[in-house]
């Protein structure tokens, strides 16, 4: 999937993956897609809930070698 920006949040513990995602998201335009890589197990539930509450859309997520990848479309 084509992303406008990729954020590497691997190795970061909660709350940093979301703090960084939020910052990266602020630099995007509405409709653009951010790709996030994280290793924190809590990231999946939290990013999903965060995206929903912020009006963004979690388009896709997958897990690959213990790395969680998320594609979030800015609302």
Partner 1 sequence: MAFKAMTSKEVTKKVFNKENLFVLDVRNESDFQDWKIEGRNFRYLNIPYFELLDGIEEIMDKIPADQEILVVCAKEGSSVMVAEMLSDAGLDVSYLQGGMKAWSEHLEPVKVGDLKDGGEVYQFVRIGKGCLSYMVISNGEAAIIDATRMTDLYLEFAEGIGATITHVFDTHLHADHISGGRAIAEQTNATYWLPPKDATEVTFDYEPLEGGIDVTIGETKINIHSLYSPGHTIGSTSFVVDEKFLLSGDILFIDSIGRPDLAGKAEDWVGDLRESLYTRYRELSEELVVLPAHFMIIDELNDDGSVAEKLGTLFEKNHGLNIEDENEFRKLVTENLPPQPNAYQEIRETNMGKINPDTEKQREMEIGPNRCAVR
Q: What is the CA radius of gyration of the chain?
A: 11
On the question of a cis peptide bond just before residue 15, with omega within 30 degrees of 0, the verdict is: yes
Residue 53 makes contact with partner 1 by CB under 8 A: yes
| 28 in contact with partner 1 (CB under 8 A) | no
Structure tokens belonging to residue 15 = 């709350």
Q: Which of 8, 13, 60, 67 binds partner 1 (CB under 8 A)?
A: 13
Cα distance between residue 73 and residue 31, in whole Å: 6
Task: Decide: is 14 part of the binding site for partner 1 (CB under 8 A).
Answer: yes
Which residues make up the interface to partner 1 (CB under 8 A)? 13-16, 18-19, 22, 41-42, 45-46, 49-50, 53
């Amino acid at each position: 999937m084509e992303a406008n920006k990729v954020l590497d949040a691997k190795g970061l513990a909660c709350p940093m993956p979301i703090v960084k995602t939020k910052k990266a998201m602020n630099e995007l335009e509405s409709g653009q897609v951010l790709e996030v890589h994280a290793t924190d197990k809590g990231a999946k539930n939290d990013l999903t809930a965060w995206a929903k509450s912020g009006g963004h859309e979690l388009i896709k997520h997958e897990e690959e070698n213990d790395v969680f990848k998320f594609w979030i479309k800015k609302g």
